[in-house]
Chain A
Amino acid sequence: MRISFFLKRAVLNFLRNKYNNFSSIVNVAVVSFFSILILFVIENAIEFVDRLVSENSAVIVLKDSATLEDIKGVEEIVSKQKGIERYRYISPTHAYEELKNAFGLSAEVADLKPERLLPPLFELKFSRYMEREDFERLKMQLSQNIAFQEMRVNLDLIILSFKFKEYSIYFKGIIIFIVCISSFYILSNTIGLNLNNNRREEIELIELLGGDSLDIKIPYIVEGIIVVSIGFLLGLFIAFGCFITVLPYISKMLHFGVFSFTPVVVKSIDVVFVYLVLVISGFFGVVKFINRFIEGLYEEGN
């Protein structure tokens, strides 16, 4: 079969050049390993900050003068808002009861009305999926409500989490860029090194027999994919080996009474993405090199 013939040529060529290919495999493995490692760090940094944010609750303080109607209005805003995991309304009476229970306050003694003591409150718990827009919208809508007085929240932490999420995209972009460039050059170099005289003759022969560009390139492309795949699996294997040994220690380190953090392993979709980027840019590396080579075939004479 034509296809099996291509594959056979690719595999045989791969084996014939195993020393060059081995060093390329190691290069690909190193690139894959570090990409996955950096993804791991980014992923967990986001996760960590998110956890901190979601552990933290916000309090919406309403004006003393808030009517029942106003409170309903605020509840409406809060209940419809994305990024809020749960909320509860704490009426002055309720808060007063709680205080009383906690500190043994006696209203009779102080002769205080609960409304005077405490404003009506909403307690919110943000979900970790809250986006910056959700947060801004919430602030905006609240500020338009006449009963709204202030929102008490650890703003630094929330802003930090938004920043992190935003920057993580750039970081991922940089990783992808590095993966692209390295795969492109690693493979175009491999093929370059592998183009010893035998293979130059082989390409020339297939040209002269009227082979089209696929006839010439497929074995090299397949060979490139073999190199990338083995290198990637190797990098992945080592990376996951590291995770498995290191994760329990990190978990233990970040385990406190109130707050504990278990690191997450890199998302499989990201791993697949790294692989695809390796394959695709490797593909272009091979194609570019062979194209240059074929052009060179006819330049020498003119």
Chain B
Amino acid sequence: MIRAFHIYKYYQKGQVALVDINLRIEKGDFLFITGPSGAGKTTLLKLIYLREFPSSGQLLIEDKNVLHLKRKELEELRRHIGVVFQDFKLIPYLTVYENVALPLYINKEPEYRVRQRVFSALDYVGLVHKTSKFPLQLSGGEQQRIGIARAIVRNPTLLVADEPTGNLDYERAIEIMDMLLDMNTRGATVIVATHNLEIIKRYNKNTVYLKEGRIEER
């Protein structure tokens, strides 16, 4: 599913974010990425969900080298990836329904499919009754669940979540994690970045520890 060989990532002004990352993630895996703030968790996820590209090294996603993708292939690959963002990234002037429908519109799905998928995704996160609300009328936890609904609405083969439990209380966090785990049992490869060690302990899954951009062996 994902192979990383000696990946380095530098931001502008020589800011080093990732150093010599080697990774092998198989289809159907569930993986935690953790580490202190600034360790490079988000950067690693951004490389995986194709928001950033490696400065050097090779990254293969679904057997495709991300540095050699044509525009069309890049779009196609991104459509297989569901992303839950640290800051939700909901469009404020669109309703909950429209926010969740956005990936389906991008896939050019027919209207009846859009309806069906949006309702089942919202049902899954337990927010069907909020379809016509606007994001800012929802609580942080609810916004996060809308973000999850949008990430899963296309049945992605790869689901990436950046701090999905960021500022939620433990119980809410568990609810969200259970959903991600459930998606994993349904076949999606799931990668979750979090610095919540309690959660990592509870789920007891493969974990990558990052520190100052490097993977630490434990």
Chain A contacts to B: CB under 8 angstroms: 1-2, 5, 9, 12-13, 16, 198, 201-202, 204-212, 215, 298, 300-302
Contact = CB atoms under 8 A, between A and B. Distances in A.
Contact of A302 (B12, B93, B106): B12
A206 B102 contact: yes
B123 interface: no
14 contacts: A2-B105, A5-B98, A12-B93, A198-B91, A202-B91, A204-B89, A206-B102, A209-B78, A210-B76, A210-B103, A211-B75, A212-B106, A215-B106, A302-B55
Interface in B49-77: 49-53, 55, 74-77
Given A206-B102, A209-B106, A210-B79, A298 B53 contact: yes
Contact of B75 (A204, A205, A212): A212
Interface of B: 9-12, 49-53, 55, 74-79, 83, 89, 91-94, 98, 101-103, 105-108, 111
Nearest to B78: A210
Nearest to A215: B106
Contacts of A16: 93
A12 B91 CA distance: 12
A209 B79 contact: yes
Interface SS, A side: helix
B52 A301 contact: yes
Contacts of B92: 198
A28 to B, nearest CB: 24
Nearest to B110: A2
Given A2-B105, A209-B103, 17 more contacts: A12-B93, A13-B93, A205-B89, A205-B91, A206-B102, A208-B49, A208-B50, A208-B51, A209-B79, A210-B74, A210-B76, A210-B79, A210-B107, A211-B75, A212-B106, A298-B53, A301-B12
B54 to A, nearest CB: 10
Contacts of A5: 98, 101, 105
A211 B12 contact: no
A208 to B, nearest CB: 6
Contacts of B102: 205-206, 209
A298 B9 CA distance: 13
B83 A208 contact: yes
- Residue among A13, A207, A298, A302 with the highest chain B CB neighbour number at 10 A: A302
Nearest to A205: B89
A206 B105 CA distance: 10
Contacts of A1: 111
A13 B94 CA distance: 11
A9 B102 CA distance: 11
Contacts of A301: 9, 11-12, 52-53
A12 B52 CA distance: 30
A223 to B, nearest CB: 13
B75 A210 contact: yes
Contacts of B52: 298, 301
Instruction: Give the 4 A-B residue pairs with the shortest CB-CB distance, closest first.
Output: A210-B78, A210-B79, A210-B75, A211-B106
A138 B106 CA distance: 66
Contacts of A201: 89
B8 to A, nearest CB: 12
B83 A210 contact: no
Nearest to B114: A2
B146 to A, nearest CB: 13
Nearest to A216: B106
Nearest to A9: B94
Contacts of A302: 10-12, 53, 55
A13 B107 CA distance: 22
Contacts of B76: 210
B4 to A, nearest CB: 17
Contact of B78 (A2, A9, A208): A208
Nearest to B150: A209
Contacts of A208: 49-51, 78, 83
Contacts of A212: 75, 106
A206 B93 contact: no
Nearest to B9: A301
Contacts of A300: 11-12
Nearest to B77: A210
A217 to B, nearest CB: 13
Contacts of A209: 78-79, 102-103, 106
A204 to B, nearest CB: 8
